[in-house]
Amino acid sequence: MDYDYSELVRKAQKWSQQTLDSGWVSPVEVQALSEAELNNADALFSNAGQRPLMVAFLGGTGVGKSTLINRLAGKDIARTGVERPTSREVTLFYHQSVALQQFPEHLPIEKIRTAPHQDDTHKDVMWVDMPDMDSTEMENKALVLEWLAHVDVLVYVVSPERYRDNKAWQLLLAEGGKHAWLFVMNQFDRGQPEQQVDFVQQLHKAGFVDPIIINTICTGENCNSEKDEFNRLGVTIHQLANRQTIAEIEYRSLQIKRADLKQRLEVCLDRFGVDDAHQKLVDNWLLNWQRNEEILQKGMVWPLQCMSADYAEKETHLLEGLFRRKAEKQEPKKSVKTEFWDDWAQSRYEDELDQLILIADDQRLALAPLRQELQSLRATAKSKVEAHVELAVRDALIKPGNGVQRFFMKLFAFLGAVLPLSAMGWVGYQVFEGYYQSGITERSYLGTDFAIHSILLILITWLLPFFIQRQLKPSMEKVALKGLITGLTKGLTALSADVLKVVAENKETRDHIIAEVQALIQQCESTGEKPKEVENSTLSRMLISDRK
């Protein structure tokens, strides 16, 4: 179960780093997930199923933590007094049968002192002397926080003068639910009953209904007096040193860790906006773009007319075209420029993109991915519109006019070829027939009138279809203008479609990321197998009440 939780934290941290790299979450959320408690006490032992109870002494400078450990051990294992006025390291006091494995990387080996012993009385307990919490050295606090994940029971040591220590108290409020707590008021020979009453009231505010407070006197002549409850400390700890109690403490701590991780993940969800955020982006874009598209089309009327006029200059009369045809073959036509997407048009387009980003911000969406995806559209807008315009103009020139016009133009083009050939065929037949009859009957051959009429007939059958076709064919300027307008409309539509595609892809990515984090949250809600509950009044007094 602990292994599953550790894997869950690693997955959450990996997820946060990936979403940070793509801009979906901020460093704040990543930092919050990186601070999620990852490790547990089992990580220190080779045989986690039979590990001892981890008991750590926590308190401020001078309250006597190390003295208590030395007294428990019956020898000096922790440095005290002048030799170490401020603890800067962690001291481990454990039975030699306990198999420690290599310490995790986050626990600096140079900050750890080990003191194995052979006393079977303390075989099931590992005592940990923690650095002083009220030290001005930040490393001390960091070291304490790193070790807390490996501790089952915290012995909070105070003195009559130091029981209101704020730094240790803040740690109690933050970590209270993850551990079982014992409270020791050391140096009680200098204390007053009112101080203990005040201390109990503080613990009630922290959530302890009936906290266990042990008064000890570890120095001087009164160390074995009636006020000294030192032996009670050892007895209370050893009552908890069994597999069932350790499993219960682990389970409770794990549920709190899962709830904490779930809360951190839920905070990340706020970065992804409301469910219908992207639909609002689409609706606002379509509404704003429709208005902007009309403005762009009106603003480009004059540039389009000027460009279509360039095509009109290329339109020539029939005879001029015949004489110039050879020259045009030698000198190819230059393509008509379509660079009409000027700074004004680009500015209008980018203003709409900026407005879209502002709307996304109002919907609490992550802006970095959307802004990055829209950035490429800004750079390609001009080339995309011009490509559509160029293609539409070419298509319009290839297929001038509407369908009816093109049908009749093809019809009269066909007639312009067939009718003259038919007329020439008929004239040829008449010539042959006249020549044949003149040889038989000695009639006169075809006269001048026939020749003139034949020529006129051929010319009429050729010129009439040609003339009608020319009249049906629209001017180059009109064809070009129609193509330019069509291309502009398609280009603007393509720009809008690209934006909608970006929004759709952004939504798809968002939904995928949310699905991942929701799966992690669901795993956080998994309680796992709860250990069999055994009535333990001592442990219940050491835990923060759920009714806090």
The closest of 540, 529, 542 to 247, measured between CA atoms, is 529
What gap in Å lies between CA 14 and CA 23, rounded to an integer? 14
Q: How confident is the model at residue 322 (pLDDT cuts 50, 70, 90)?
A: very low
Q: Which two tokens stand for residue 536?
A: 């333990």
Half-sphere exposure of 507 (CA within 13 A, CB side): 17
Segment 12-59, tens digit of pLDDT: 989 988 888 888 888 888 888 887 776 777 778 877 678 899 999 988
Q: Which two tokens stand for residue 509?
A: 């990515």
CA angle at 227 for the pair 177 and 84, rounded to the nearest 5°: 65
Q: Where are the beta strands (DSSP E) in 63-132?
A: 90-95, 112-117, 125-129
Q: Are 393 and 307 in contact (CB under 8 A)?
A: no
Mean residue pLDDT of the chain comes to 80
**More confident site: 441 or 272:** 272
List alpha helices for 35-137, DSSP H: 65-73
Segment 102-148, tens digit of pLDDT: 777 777 777 888 888 888 888 899 998 888 776 556 677 778 888 88
- CB count within 10 Å of CB 317 equals 8
Residue 327 vs residues 314, 316, 336, 383, 542: alpha-carbon distances, Å: 14, 14, 19, 33, 104
What gap in Å lies between CA 66 and CA 80, rounded to an integer? 6
Q: Which two tokens stand for residue 213?
A: 């407070």
- CB count within 10 Å of CB 159 equals 20
User: Over the Cα atoms of the chain, what is R_g?
Assistant: 46
Task: Look at residue 80 in the predicted model and tell me its pLDDT.
Answer: 53
The closest of 44, 172, 260 to 543, measured between CA atoms, is 172
Q: What is the DSSP string of 115-154?
A: EEE--GGGTTEEEEEPPPTT-S-HHHHHHHHHHHTT-SEE
pLDDT over 60 at 97, yes or no: yes
Task: Look at residue 150 in the predicted model and tell me its pLDDT.
Answer: 85
Q: Give, to the nearest 10 degrees, the angle between helix 476-525 and helix 2-21.
A: 160
Segment 505-515, tens digit of pLDDT: 999 999 999 99
Task: Look at residue 2 in the predicted model and tell me its pLDDT.
Answer: 52
The closest of 225, 224, 204 to 213, measured between CA atoms, is 204
Task: Look at residue 445 in the predicted model and tell me its pLDDT.
Answer: 60
What gap in Å lies between CA 380 and CA 368, rounded to an integer? 19
- CB count within 10 Å of CB 352 equals 19
Query: Amino acid identity of 188?
Result: F
State the pTM of this model: 0.68
Query: Per residue in 532-541, is it b (16+ CB within 10 Å) or e — as a string?
Result: eeeebeebeb
Segment 379-433, tens digit of pLDDT: 999 999 989 988 888 887 777 666 676 677 777 778 778 888 888 888 787 777 7
Task: Look at residue 82 in the predicted model and tell me its pLDDT.
Answer: 39
Greatest Cα pair distance in the chain? 170
Task: Look at residue 345 in the predicted model and tell me its pLDDT.
Answer: 92
Q: Are 118 and 96 in contact (CB under 8 A)?
A: yes
Task: Look at residue 474 in the predicted model and tell me its pLDDT.
Answer: 64
